[in-house]
Amino acid sequence: MRIEEYLEWQGPILEERLARRVAHRGQYEAKVWEAMEYSLMAGGKRLRPLMLLLGAGAVSGCCAQEVFDRVYPFAEALEMIHTYSLIHDDLPAMDDDDYRRGRLTNHKVFGEAIAILAGDGLLNLAYETMIEALAQDPAPGKILAARTIAHAAGPKGMVAGQTADMLAEQQKATAAHLDFIEENKTGQLITAALVAGAQAAGGSEKQIFVMKRAGRAFGKAFQIQDDILEIEGDEQELGKPVGSDAEKDKVTFVTIYGIQKAKEMAAGLSKEAAEALRDFPNEAGDLLREWIQALIYRKK
């Protein structure tokens, strides 16, 4: 199977599962559900959840629906957390962006109060989804997967990275500061996708270690590519304006290393991630390798 076939196969299943999670309405709280649905169902590459499934497949030695079904709630939770972070990141108090995933940002449509609550709603629904899965099957690996995701999203992970990023804007970040930001703001959730997938499917310690290595290298490559697209990308394809980092005078891998060096770094890191994944000589491992390398040439 090629990566396009995998995405065409699991993509619609994931969409349906996510849509069901945000279907609730209610007499007085309908607005927040509408806002949650608006951002969660706005497309997006679904990189993290679909990688989590492949992480599970890679340690299980196969790419079967029954393997994916056992870990799906963790994949759904991860996408909910990612979407909450985008909603909050776009708020006037943070990056103050008007477009995301090809449409107006959540606060532009629903107002700031509802956008904050929609983010809160998705974050909490993510934890409810994982805990519900654990209540049904408290397998040790699944408990570790929930811990991995919570750690990556929290104040030792994405929240730490976002904090460092918010403060860096007024401080002129050094290369070390930038590394901290990117490793935590972007890298932790991406690494968590591979690691939590492997853990939830009962992977060994050695397998988890390899996933962590691959995730860290790929997470950094992905962020560097994001910085490159911020300059060279096409607004239509990206679904958001380009050049806003420069406007805000933000320090990125491109401003520190220059575009050519940044491209070389991204290619080297994605190769490193793909090499690590050779430890999984099966279809899911092959798909991960193919996808990681293709994402370095992504246009959105």
Binding residues for ligand GRG, per CB under 6 A?
44-45, 47, 82, 85-86, 88-89, 101, 158-159, 162, 185-186, 223, 226
Looking at the Cβ atoms of 60 and 188, the one nearer to ligand GRG is 188
User: How many residues in total does the chain contain?
Assistant: 300
Question: How near is the Cβ of 44 to ligand GRG at its closest, in Å?
Answer: 3
Looking at the Cβ atoms of 240 and 289, the one nearer to ligand GRG is 240
Q: What is the DSSP string of 13-66?
A: HHHHHHHHHT----TTTHHHHHHHHHHHTS----HHHHHHHHHHHHHHTS--HH
Distance of CA 110 to the CA centre of its chain: 24
Question: How near is the Cβ of 35 to ligand GRG at its closest, in Å?
Answer: 16
CA-only gyration radius of the chain, Å: 18
Tally of CB atoms within 10 A around 83: 27
Looking at the Cβ atoms of 59 and 228, the one nearer to ligand GRG is 228
Q: Kindly tell me the sign of the dihedral angle through the C-alpha atoms of 145, 146, 148, 149.
A: positive
Question: How near is the Cβ of 281 to ligand GRG at its closest, in Å?
Answer: 27
Looking at the Cβ atoms of 120 and 128, the one nearer to ligand GRG is 120
| Pairwise CA distance, residues 37 & 20, whole Å | 10
Question: How near is the Cβ of 61 to ligand GRG at its closest, in Å?
Answer: 27
CA distances from 100 to 122, 139, 169, 171 (A): 17, 37, 21, 26
Report the SS3 class of residue 107: helix
Give the DSSP letter of residue 278: G
Looking at the Cβ atoms of 43 and 281, the one nearer to ligand GRG is 43
| Pairwise CA distance, residues 255 & 231, whole Å | 10
* Residue in this structure with the two tokens 């990117």, named with its chain if needed: 182
| Pairwise CA distance, residues 36 & 48, whole Å | 18
Looking at the Cβ atoms of 22 and 158, the one nearer to ligand GRG is 158
CA angle 237, 167, 80 (to 5 degrees): 45
Question: How near is the Cβ of 227 to ligand GRG at its closest, in Å?
Answer: 8
Question: How near is the Cβ of 12 to ligand GRG at its closest, in Å?
Answer: 16
CA distances from 206 to 59, 81, 198, 202 (A): 10, 27, 11, 12
Question: How near is the Cβ of 118 to ligand GRG at its closest, in Å?
Answer: 13
Looking at the Cβ atoms of 89 and 286, the one nearer to ligand GRG is 89
Looking at the Cβ atoms of 39 and 199, the one nearer to ligand GRG is 39
Q: Are 188 and 161 in contact (CB under 8 A)?
A: yes
Question: How near is the Cβ of 267 to ligand GRG at its closest, in Å?
Answer: 18
